[in-house]
């Protein structure tokens, strides 16, 4: 158990809909990272928050947004969903602000867009 909690584990929705994925980092970790893992593209970095503020941005679509709350949990919002958004979405956390720190991954949320 990494100590990172992601909910829900599975999500099935339709095209055009909006969903919210939730992540609770390990106790004491200030950084949260979001990744997308799809069959044809591997793990892709989406975005990082550190202590409530956006720290780094990767290949995140404009339809996607994230935030980190004062209690350090984070949410990833995906809107106007398309079939190609079906993937595993992982959250990771680390104590510091730099990506090379050990990142602890949650078990992921599997999103299926039908």
Partner 1 sequence: GQQLNQSPQSMFIQEGEDVSMNCTSSSIFNTWLWYKQDPGEGPVLLIALYKAGELTSNGRLTAQFGTTRKDSFLNISASIPSDVGIYFCAGEYGNKLVFGAGTILRVKS
Residue 49, C-beta contacts closer than 8 angstroms, at least 6 positions apart: 31, 32, 55, 66, 67, 68, 74
Q: Kindly tell me which of 2 and 79 has the beta carbon lying closer to partner 1.
A: 2
Q: Kindly tell me which of 59 and 77 has the beta carbon lying closer to partner 1.
A: 59
Q: What is the 3-state secondary structure (H, E, C) of 80-109?
A: CCCHHHCEEEEEEEECCCCCCCCCEECCCE
Total residues binding partner 1 (CB under 8 A): 24
Q: Kindly tell me which of 22 and 55 has the beta carbon lying closer to partner 1.
A: 55
Taking CB under 8 A as the binding criterion, the range among 11-19, 62-70, 74-82, 100-108 that sits at the site for partner 1 is: 100-108
Angle, CA 98 vertex, CA 87 and CA 63 arms, to 5°: 35
Residues 34-93 that bind partner 1 (CB under 8 A): 42-45, 48, 55-56, 58, 90, 92
The distance between the two most distant Cα atoms of the chain, rounded to a whole number of Å, is 38
The answer to whether 102 contacts partner 1 (rule: CB under 8 A) is yes
Which positions touch partner 1 (CB under 8 A)? Answer: 2, 4, 33, 42-45, 48, 55-56, 58, 90, 92, 97-100, 102-108
């Amino acid at each position: 158990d990494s100590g990172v909690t992601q909910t829900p584990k599975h999500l099935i929705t339709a095209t055009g809909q909006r969903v919210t994925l939730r992540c609770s980092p390990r106790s004491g970790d200030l950084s949260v990272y979001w990744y997308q893992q799809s069959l044809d593209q591997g793990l892709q970095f989406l975005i990082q928050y550190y202590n409530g503020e956006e720290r780094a941005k990767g290949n995140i679509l404009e339809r996607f947004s994230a935030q980190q709350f004062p209690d350090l949990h984070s949410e990833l919002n995906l809107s106007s969903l398309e079939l190609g958004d079906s993937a595993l979405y992982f959250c990771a956390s680390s104590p510091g602000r730099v990506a090379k720190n050990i990142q602890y991954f949650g078990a992921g949320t599997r999103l299926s867009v039908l």
